[in-house]
Amino acid sequence: MKSAVEELKAQGQAAKAASRRLANTSTDVKNKALQNISEDLIKRKSEIIAANKIDYKAAEAAGMSAAMRDRLMLDTARIEGMAKDVLTVAALPDPVGEMIEMRTLPNGLLLGKKRVPLGVIAALYESRPNVTIDISILCLKAGNAVILRGGKEAINSNRALVKIVQEAAARAGLPAGAVQFIDNTDRALVNELLKMSGVINLVIPRGGADLIKFVAENACMPVVTGGIGVCHLYVDKNADISKAVAIAYNAKVQRPTVCNALDCVLIHKEIAQSGLPVIAAEWAKAGVEIHGDKRALAILKANASLKVKSAVPADWGKEFLALVAAVKVVDSLDEALVHIERYGSGHSEAIVTEDYQSALRFLNEVDAACVYANASTRFTDGGQFGLGAEVGISTQKMHARGPMGLKELTSYKWIVFGSGQIRP
Amino acid sequence: MKSAVEELKAQGQAAKAASRRLANTSTDVKNKALQNISEDLIKRKSEIIAANKIDYKAAEAAGMSAAMRDRLMLDTARIEGMAKDVLTVAALPDPVGEMIEMRTLPNGLLLGKKRVPLGVIAALYESRPNVTIDISILCLKAGNAVILRGGKEAINSNRALVKIVQEAAARAGLPAGAVQFIDNTDRALVNELLKMSGVINLVIPRGGADLIKFVAENACMPVVTGGIGVCHLYVDKNADISKAVAIAYNAKVQRPTVCNALDCVLIHKEIAQSGLPVIAAEWAKAGVEIHGDKRALAILKANASLKVKSAVPADWGKEFLALVAAVKVVDSLDEALVHIERYGSGHSEAIVTEDYQSALRFLNEVDAACVYANASTRFTDGGQFGLGAEVGISTQKMHARGPMGLKELTSYKWIVFGSGQIRP
């Protein structure tokens, strides 16, 4: 353990040294690094797939669920998708060096904020190996060094991917040490990492609620937390029910294990009688289980083919991460707003309505990272928002909120061009 | 103590409730509140001055230094200055509601970031009572509730000022509870406040290094730290020495007890022989004591009227907060950059040069909140930068850096206007 800690500290110092050079590396060199990474992912896909097979077999042997194994699995199509995403990020504007709010003061000082990298970013994440690529390329493009620590179930896949990233980046001229990989899944090393506030400028925990809570409570440096999504869909009395059905189905069923999946439908009493059975029937095609309040149960009990249960108090504010949805009939938009304020996690919330005022009130009054009118909560995603990828989805209010892409991995400094000015 | 803790918790809840209403309060109402505050400061100045006299006499009796008593003192001119500053902030654009990066995606979703208040901000500060006004008005204008906890040496002044702010704000229609004042200087209450992460969204410690360190280490919610300024002035070989003299004098002498005051001059060896004696002679008029390295001492020893000492290692990286300056002769811009990286606190750093490339390199490569070419570090200030006022000066990289005004007291949320879109 002692030597592992020493090695981690050396990695931290190497990352810090690299970050200083990365801060002044040209956009061309950074983009070339990303292009190399994209090409090498394709060229070396057999290496990746071979390493991934080791992880996959170990996961099977350990009895990992099929859904979790699917998150872990890499094949040619997925690797090609990753390679394409890297090029998308390469094509985005470089956030570093952007001047914000530049102006000349009455005394002649020309000043503004210049966007600069944060420095060294540590990312702690779980199963999906593509996160290794997403976080590496976003950090590098934004001029940051990165320390990666993935889950043990993907250790072979991550090791292969990091090797490709490191070699491709070095070939483009990025400083050695820019991408560090903690090739050790001992949990105690995470504790050590969270103490390295002199080296690491930001920690991003990306995984389950336990990991996030542990990092937030124990890190000595700033943390951006997020990824816990208790997402509501409010179906207003003036909703277009066909939109409500499509959105409720997409948000609940398309990928139930992710943070932007729907957890709870709140439906106005005046539309519940006609609308709720249609939503429930559509859900039934995918086997969604409904935990309904009394009024919802009364409406749905006529259809014996539905999976319906009586909701318990713990169902409100629960992130199901499964084909289960809570449903509640409400008297008004106001009741829905109060429910969301009480039970939401500040991630993604949506209204379906054809009423202009209801839409604006919902968008203005709901306090969450992403608020939708007439669209699926599943859009809360860096790729979908046009950010190329994301290092995570922040549900805090400081620094960044929602999907975090390139800009969210930067800070700024004020630069001031003077000609001898002194303060009067 | 128990009842004081209960009262603090009640204040937190009241602030939180007020913050929800403030988030949707119109700009007109917020500006009216600021105008009322400005008017009432003038109308009720005798109340303020009477309360301030109690603090001032207590400070005299306690043997407080004249410099510290000067920071504490309020008279008609200073109150009029405060009232004017409030109107300046009232005249600034409201940051809340600003839409950033609005765009339409290929699938027709219209989305962007909408600037929103942070919520509840707690400010912990020391002696100067005008901070009570600065922080209150910036928080209110940015739609935040605020919990104020000033120093015990200004308790009577702060109590009088808060009463005026609360009454003036309520008259304009701002929610009661928007401005909370901890009328109790028991240090144990600060510990309680730092645990209230469910209520307080951001803590800003504004005072000495001990206070800042204590808050950063003990707060359970986000903190923006700053205010520790180890500021350098690098005099390049191609400097206009008259500018160097004026800037070194202004930055060191104008107000030596503040964070943007100069601490260390680094001067290029090729200009040191001619330039350093002139800087030193000018400083001598104000009684500045020089702690010089060997080469600086060799140059300055000819002038027996200067206060010069040999620098000790602890002088490098020291925030003097007094009429003392460290001076070092360096061989190159590169040596200056290395020195600043090692000893700077990331606050304010300046170069004096007529060389274009040196200026650009310094502005680009120095990693600090504010970097100057040919201007005094004393400009690092919200008022000077055109932000109206400041709640503090951040030396961290997350969320905000440098003087924090209205925008830095906001977050954003993504709002998405759809027409039934689902994720493919």
The domain in which residue A362 lies consists of 231-379
A387 domain residue, yes or no? no
Query: Which class for B132: exposed (0-12), middle (13-18), buried (19 or more C-beta within 10 A)?
Result: buried
Question: In one letter, which amino acid is A65?
Answer: S
* Locus of tokens 């190329």: A388
* Locus of tokens 């519940």: A272
- Cα distances from A180 to residues A140, B6, B285, B352, in angstroms, run 12, 48, 54, 38
> Where residue B311 sits, what CATH number does that domain have?
3.40.309.10
- pLDDT level of residue A76 (50, 70, 90 thresholds): very high
Check A415 against B111: CB less than 8 A apart. Answer: no
- Cα distances from A91 to residues A28, A85, A127, A411, B379, in angstroms, run 11, 10, 28, 21, 38
Q: Could you say which of A103, A399, A418 has the minimum Cβ distance to residue B374?
A: A418
Which residue of A lies nearest to B379 if distances are taken between CA atoms? Answer: A423
Give residues 195 to 224 of A whose Cβ lies within 8 Å of B: 201-202, 222
Q: pLDDT value at position A309?
A: 95
**Spacing of C-alpha A27 from chain mean position:** 25
- Cα distances from B298 to residues B245, B274, B294, in angstroms, run 19, 13, 6
Question: In one letter, which amino acid is B126?
Answer: E
Name which of B416, B417, B419 to mutate to probe chain A: the one with the most chain A Cβ atoms within 10 A of its Cβ.
Answer: B416
Q: Minimum mean pLDDT among A67-76, A366-375, B155-164: which range?
A: A67-76
- A61 Cβ contact list (under 8 Å, min separation 6): none
With pLDDT > 90 as the criterion, what percentage of chain A qualifies?
88
**Overall average pLDDT of the B86-91 stretch:** 97
Helix-then-strand count for chain B, H and E: 14, 16
Helix axis angle for B155-172 and B130-141, nearest 10°, is 30
- Nearest CA distance, B169 vs chain A (angstrom): 23
Per-residue pLDDT of A179-217, as tens digits, reads: 999 999 888 999 999 999 889 999 999 888 888 888 888
B67 domain residue, yes or no? yes
CB atoms within 10 A of CB B281: 14
Helix-then-strand count for chain A, H and E: 14, 16
Inform me whether the C-beta atom of residue B22 falls under 8 Å from chain A C-beta atoms: no
DSSP sequence for B206-264:
ES-HHHHHHHHHH-SS-B--B----EEEEE-TT--HHHHHHHHHHHHHS-TTSTTSEEE
Name which of B414, B417, B419 to mutate to probe chain A: the one with the most chain A Cβ atoms within 10 A of its Cβ.
Answer: B414
Does the pLDDT value for residue B74 go beyond 80? yes
Give residues 87 to 146 of B whose Cβ lies within 8 Å of A: 103, 105, 109, 111, 113, 116, 118-119
Residues A352, B420: Cα–Cα separation, whole Å = 8
B385 domain residue, yes or no? no
Q: pLDDT value at position A271?
A: 98
With pLDDT > 70 as the criterion, what percentage of chain A qualifies?
100
What's this model's pTM, rounded to 2 decimal places? 0.92
Give residues 374 to 403 of B whose Cβ lies within 8 Å of A: 374-376, 378-380, 384-386, 396-399, 401-403
**Overall average pLDDT of the B328-335 stretch:** 98
- Counting the structural domains of chain B, the total is 2
Cα torsion for B208, B209, B214, B219, to the nearest 10°? Answer: 80
Q: Could you say which of B396, B411, B415 has the minimum Cβ distance to residue A371?
A: B415
Same domain flag for B236 and B215? no
Helix axis angle for A76-91 and A130-141, nearest 10°, is 10
Sheet bearing B120-125, strands edge to edge: B179-181, B145-149, B120-125, B202-206
Which residue of A lies nearest to B416 if distances are taken between CA atoms? Answer: A372
- Nearest CA distance, A61 vs chain B (angstrom): 33
Name which of A398, A399, A401 to mutate to probe chain B: the one with the most chain B Cβ atoms within 10 A of its Cβ.
Answer: A398
Per-residue pLDDT of A297-354, as tens digits, reads: 999 998 888 999 999 999 999 999 999 999 999 999 999 999 999 999 999 999 999 9
Same domain flag for B239 and B220? no
Q: Which residues of A touch B398 (CB under 8 A)?
A: 118, 201-202, 222, 398-399, 411
Same domain flag for B163 and B202? yes
Tokens of A420: 């001898």
Q: Could you say which of A111, A376, A397 has the minimum Cβ distance to residue B118?
A: A397
Name which of A24, A213, A379 to mutate to probe chain B: the one with the most chain B Cβ atoms within 10 A of its Cβ.
Answer: A379
Same domain flag for A108 and A19? yes
Tokens of B155: 């308790």
- Nearest CA distance, A371 vs chain B (angstrom): 5
Residues B126, B132: Cα–Cα separation, whole Å = 10
CB burial of B343-374 (b: ≥16 within 10 Å; e: otherwise) equals bbbbbbbbbbbeeeebbebbbbbbbbbbbbbb
C-alpha angle A183-A188-A192 in degrees, rounded to nearest 5? 85
Residues B338, B72: Cα–Cα separation, whole Å = 39
Check A109 against B376: CB less than 8 A apart. Answer: no
**Spacing of C-alpha A59 from chain mean position:** 24
DSSP H or E stretch at residue B146: strand B145-149
Average pLDDT over chain A reads 95
Q: Which residues of A touch B359 (CB under 8 A)?
A: 417
Handedness of CA B254, B260, B263, B264 (dihedral sign): negative
B387 domain residue, yes or no? no
Tokens of A34: 């990303």
- Nearest CA distance, A191 vs chain B (angstrom): 17
B423 domain residue, yes or no? no
Residues A87, A92: Cα–Cα separation, whole Å = 9
Same domain flag for A121 and A80? yes
Check A375 against B24: CB less than 8 A apart. Answer: no
CB atoms within 10 A of CB B165: 28
Q: Which residues of B touch A342 (CB under 8 A)?
A: none
Same domain flag for A117 and A186? yes
Q: In 3D, which of A228, A188, A212, A167 has the Cα closest to residue A43?
A: A167
Q: Could you say which of B202, B376, B415 has the minimum Cβ distance to residue A398?
A: B202
- Nearest CA distance, A208 vs chain B (angstrom): 21
Q: Do the beta carbons of residue B99 and residue B112 sit within 8 Å?
A: yes
Does the pLDDT value for residue A1 go beyond 70? no
Inform me whether the C-beta atom of residue A229 falls under 8 Å from chain B C-beta atoms: no
Q: Could you say which of B242, B371, B412 has the minimum Cβ distance to residue A416?
A: B371
Same domain flag for B212 and B246? no
Same domain flag for A217 and A239? no
Q: Does residue A349 sit in helix, strand or coil?
A: strand
Q: pLDDT value at position A291?
A: 98
Same domain flag for A353 and A300? yes
B424 domain residue, yes or no? no
**Model ipTM value:** 0.93
**Overall average pLDDT of the A395-405 stretch:** 94
Helical spans, DSSP H, in B44-148: 45-61, 66-72, 76-91, 130-141
DSSP sequence for B170-193:
HHHTPPTTSEEE-----HHHHHHH
Give residues 242 to 281 of A whose Cβ lies within 8 Å of B: 242-243, 246-247, 249-251, 254
Q: pLDDT value at position B67?
A: 81
Q: Do the beta carbons of residue A365 and residue A305 sit within 8 Å?
A: no
Residues B259, B94: Cα–Cα separation, whole Å = 28
Check B372 against A416: CB less than 8 A apart. Answer: yes
> Where residue A156 sits, what CATH number does that domain have?
3.40.605.10
Tokens of A163: 């090797």
Q: Which residues of B touch A364 (CB under 8 A)?
A: 24
Per-residue pLDDT of A98-153, as tens digits, reads: 999 999 999 999 999 999 999 999 999 987 899 999 999 999 999 999 999 999 99
Q: Which residues of B touch A412 (CB under 8 A)?
A: 401
Per-residue pLDDT of B300-325, as tens digits, reads: 998 888 999 999 999 999 999 999 99
Residues B190, B193: Cα–Cα separation, whole Å = 5
Residues A43, A168: Cα–Cα separation, whole Å = 11
Same domain flag for B259 and B365? yes
Per-residue pLDDT of A226-269, as tens digits, reads: 878 999 999 999 999 999 999 999 999 999 989 999 999 999 99
Does the pLDDT value for residue B1 go beyond 70? no
Same domain flag for B40 and B165? yes
Inform me whether the C-beta atom of residue A175 falls under 8 Å from chain B C-beta atoms: no
B389 domain residue, yes or no? no
Q: pLDDT value at position A212?
A: 87
Residues B46, B344: Cα–Cα separation, whole Å = 43
Same domain flag for B245 and B357? yes
In A49-131, the DSSP E strands lie at 99-104, 110-117, 120-125
Q: Which residues of B touch A414 (CB under 8 A)?
A: 369-371, 380, 385, 401-403
Check A23 against B376: CB less than 8 A apart. Answer: no
- A213 Cβ contact list (under 8 Å, min separation 6): none
**A324-330 vs A262-268, strand pairing mode:** parallel
Residues B212, B223: Cα–Cα separation, whole Å = 9
Question: In one letter, which amino acid is B125?
Answer: Y
A69 domain residue, yes or no? yes
Q: pLDDT value at position A187?
A: 87
Check B247 against A422: CB less than 8 A apart. Answer: yes
- Nearest CA distance, B262 vs chain A (angstrom): 12
- CA Rg value for chain A: 24
Which residue of A lies nearest to B96 if distances are taken between CA atoms? Answer: A364
Check B413 against A368: CB less than 8 A apart. Answer: yes
Q: Could you say which of B23, B251, B416 has the minimum Cβ distance to residue A371?
A: B416
**Overall average pLDDT of the A46-56 stretch:** 97
Check A111 against B364: CB less than 8 A apart. Answer: no
